Amino acid sequence: MCGDATNWDEDAYRETVLKERQIKTRTVFRTAWAPPYTPIIDTLLVASSDGSVASYSIAPSMLNNPFYFVNADTDELSAQPNCFVQAHDGPAYDVKFYGDGEDALMLSCGDDGRIRGWRWKEFSSSNYFVSSQGNDIKPVLDMVNPQHKGPWGALSPIPENNAIAVNTQAGSVFAASGDSCAYCWDVESGKVKMVFKGHMDYLHCIVARNSSNQIITGSEDGTARIWDCKSGKCTQVIDPAKDLKLKGFASWVGCVALDASESWLACSSGRNISLWNLPALECVSKIPTHACVQDMLFDNNQLLTVGTDPLLNRFDMNGTILSQIQCAPSSSFSISLHSAGVMAVGGYGCLVDVISQFGSHMCTFRCQ
């Protein structure tokens, strides 16, 4: 049986195919649960490789049906965002909230070297029209990394921001930059307060240890460094893969995580995780993994990790693996934990998995 091709639109068909391919090759670099942080699961933020930051409503009807959005292999359905902005020229690598509740700022950083902030109340409002270019809402904060002068006054490219951390009490936002420096920005003035220099290669990650007025950075140079935010000096260098380097293996610190007490630090170096007692500055355990770890966080006295395999791993503090859960992304770059125990895993293919505290898949969707 032959179809009628009289009204066939070749250009529209080509555009549809290209859009589907682009979506499948996009990557979610960061997921974050939106405030207020209550036991009610509501909104998830997603930062993607196309430079967008989007919010998705995780409604109860979706959570009751694990196949509500999409089967990762078939692409049957996709999720439409409640709200999104084209936040960066180039990939958006991180998203964090500065403050709680409706007065919070939603911050993002990306490959263009910018940190931008929107009022969460405005961003989440339905008064703004969502188009293919994003919401027509301007950031209230827009900070750009400084350029460095070279020979004859030539300026270096603007270094990217790979991760951010916040300290609301000090009014600061910290950025892990591609020029091997970490920057402390003043939220009120939008200016650099301090530059942390000492790494020999670009920075992958950063966390704020606010109880001690410190930050901890991880770098491609294979070290993690603890910095004093008052003086800007490095107080300790942690080399989690020193033994591997002596054997000739390349190593980098891809991500770091602090527990709630800020007494325990986890550092990932390729397929290895080292767990450090910070008060004693002692490595208490080393955990080998089957794949490179790309993000991790503490859940009480356990460690959750995701990486270059489609698994969400749960370890105890001794490095014993407690569970492994299959995830939709073939490679995951982000895991976020809701106060209710629900986890969101994002990664390649613009896929996001929402997983309950008991390990069941609550829903899976592909971002648009």
For 271-319, what is each residue's pLDDT tens digit?
999 999 999 999 999 999 999 999 999 999 999 999 999 999 999 999 9
Which pLDDT score, from 0 to 100, does residue 78 have?
67
CA distance 210 to 114: 23
Can you read off the two tokens belonging to residue 152? 């004859």
**Residues in the chain, pLDDT under 70:** 1-6, 13-24, 37-40, 59-78, 126-136, 243-250
CA distance 354 to 175: 28
- A 10 A CB-CB count for 122 gives 16
- Angle at CA of residue 77, ends 73 and 78, nearest 5°: 100
Which pLDDT score, from 0 to 100, does residue 38 have?
65
Q: Do residues 321 and 313 touch, judged by C-beta distance below 8 A?
A: yes
Which pLDDT score, from 0 to 100, does residue 101 have?
75
Residue 152 per-residue DSSP state: G
Which pLDDT score, from 0 to 100, does residue 74 have?
47
Amino acid at position 60, single letter: P
Beta bridge partners of 258: 265
Q: Please name which of 178, 35, 153, 30 lies closest in space to residue 102, comparing C-alpha atoms.
A: 35
Which pLDDT score, from 0 to 100, does residue 41 have?
77
Which pLDDT score, from 0 to 100, does residue 69 have?
45
The enclosing H or E element of 185 equals strand 182-186
Q: Please name which of 247, 195, 204 lies closest in space to residue 222, comparing C-alpha atoms.
A: 204
Which pLDDT score, from 0 to 100, does residue 270 have?
87
Which pLDDT score, from 0 to 100, does residue 77 have?
53
What is the pTM assigned to this prediction?
0.88
Which pLDDT score, from 0 to 100, does residue 279 have?
94
Which pLDDT score, from 0 to 100, does residue 203 have?
98
Which pLDDT score, from 0 to 100, does residue 70 have?
44
Cα torsion for 158, 163, 167, 172, to the nearest 10°? 10
Q: Which residues contact 149 (CB under 8 A, 6 or more apart)?
A: 155, 156
Can you read off the two tokens belonging to residue 128? 């703004």
Which pLDDT score, from 0 to 100, does residue 72 have?
46
